[in-house]
Amino acid sequence: MATGDNRKSVIKMTDITKSYYIGQPNELQILFDINLDIKEGEFVSIVGPSGSGKSTLMNIIGALDRPTTGTYFLENTDISKLNDKIGRASCRERV
C-alpha cells in the first residue's frame, strides 16, 4: 500500500485566471484555470511558447500581481486575498 505525500505545499494555486480589460466589453484572458501544487523540495520549470502567460504566472507567484479569480496560497497564507502592498511585499520575501 502506497503512502501519501506528507510534504507541505509551499505554493498552491487553484483555478487561477488572469484577465485584462481593454475597454468595454473587451476582455483579454491571459491565464485560464491554472492549478499548481508545489511541495517542499520540488524544483519546477515553467515553459511555453511566447505569449502563453509564463511571465504573468510568475508575476502572480512572486506577489507582484493578483489573479482575477482563483486562490493562491503561499505557505498557508492566502495571497489572492491580500489587498495591501505591505502584505504582498512581506510575502515576496518568502518566494
3-state secondary structure of 12: strand
Cα 28 from Cα 19, distance rounded (Å):
5
What pLDDT, on a 0 to 100 scale, did the predictor assign at position 92? Answer: 60
Percentage of the chain exceeding pLDDT 70: 82
Query: Alpha helices of 1-95 — where are they, by DSSP H?
Result: 54-61, 85-92
For the chain, what percent of residues have pLDDT higher than 90?
54
Tens of pLDDT, residue by residue over 26-55, are 888 899 999 999 999 999 999 999 999 999
Of 46, 50, 59, 47, residue with least CA distance to 20: 59
Residue 65 backbone dihedrals phi, psi, to 5 degrees: -140, 160
Amino acid 90: pLDDT: 64
Q: What pTM was estimated for this model as a whole?
A: 0.79
Q: Could you give the CA distance from residue 11 to residue 72 in angstroms, rounded to a whole number?
A: 7
Indicate if the alpha-carbon torsion angle 89, 63, 59, 65 is positive or negative: negative
